[in-house]
């Protein structure tokens, strides 16, 4: 082989090897983590939702107190034509429990959630943090204010993260993390 051929092969192989190395550095750590703590999430308006009940607009405010989820209500308006902001007519949120060991979801009623011990800490008992998908800021030179990718979620620990499957119903309704399920 000619020396010019060798330098051409080396010059072309370095970027390919770098791309492969970066891809492995991203993929391999995510395969080695195994979160075990389940979490609850809401699909719809959370932590505050407005619903029409018995001809009145009732505001539901959800919060975690002493390890239990609570729902406090106040009457916003008795006139149905006087909708408070932000009223989108979506009703109460639907709650789901995500089983992290199997990466499955199960719809759960508010009463069933209220029976469970929850933790609203930012870090799960097994050391993971919950993050939403990335946001898009556009591409140079056409920067724009993109929306957060609320249709995907990740559990992260140290430098590795694992995508979790969540139910989003086409991302029409907002998706919100509620709490970790304490064992």
Phi-psi region of 169 (alpha: psi -120 to 50; beta: other; left: phi over 0): left
pLDDT of 57 higher than 90: no
pTM of the predicted protein model: 0.73
Query: What average pLDDT does this structure show over 3-16?
Result: 88
State the pLDDT confidence band at 110, using cuts at 50, 70 and 90: very high
Lowest mean pLDDT among 67-81, 96-110, 154-168: 67-81
The residues that bridge with 162 in the sheet, in sequence order, are 155
Percent of the chain's residues with pLDDT above 70: 80
Model pLDDT, residue 172: 61
State the pLDDT confidence band at 19, using cuts at 50, 70 and 90: very high
3-state SS class at 125: coil
For residues 30 and 25, give the distance between their C-alpha atoms in angstroms, rounded to a whole number. 9
State the pLDDT confidence band at 54, using cuts at 50, 70 and 90: confident
Q: Could you tell me the CA-to-CA distances from 48 to 44, 75, 92 in Å, in that order?
A: 10, 13, 9
Close Cβ partners of 125 (under 8 Å, ≥ 6 residues apart): 37, 119, 180, 182, 183
Query: What average pLDDT does this structure show over 48-62?
Result: 82
Residue holding tokens 């092969």? 9
State the pLDDT confidence band at 25, using cuts at 50, 70 and 90: confident
pLDDT of 71 higher than 80: yes
Three-state SS for 127-149 is CCEEEECCECCEECCEECCCCEC
- pLDDT (tens digit per residue) in 120-179: 999 999 999 998 876 555 555 555 554 455 567 889 888 788 888 888 765 566 788 999
């Amino acid at each position: 082989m000619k020396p010019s051929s060798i330098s051409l092969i080396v010059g072309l192989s370095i970027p390919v090897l770098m791309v492969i190395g970066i891809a492995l550095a991203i993929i391999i750590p995510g395969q080695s983590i195994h979160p075990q703590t389940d979490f609850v999430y809401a699909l719809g308006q959370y932590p505050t939702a407005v619903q029409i009940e018995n001809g009145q607009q009732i505001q539901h405010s959800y919060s975690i107190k002493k390890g239990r989820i609570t729902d406090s209500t106040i009457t916003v308006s008795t006139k149905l034509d006087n909708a408070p902001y932000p009223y989108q007519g979506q009703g109460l949120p639907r709650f789901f429990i995500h089983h992290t060991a199997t990466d499955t979801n199960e719809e759960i009623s508010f009463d069933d959630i209220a029976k469970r011990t929850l933790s609203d800490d930012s870090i799960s008992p097994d050391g993971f943090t919950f993050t939403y998908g990335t946001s898009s800021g556009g591409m140079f030179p056409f920067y724009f204010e993109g929306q957060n990718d609320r249709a995907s979620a990740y559990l992260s620990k140290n430098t590795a993260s694992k995508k979790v499957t969540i139910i989003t119903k086409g991302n029409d309704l907002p998706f919100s993390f509620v709490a970790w399920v304490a064992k």
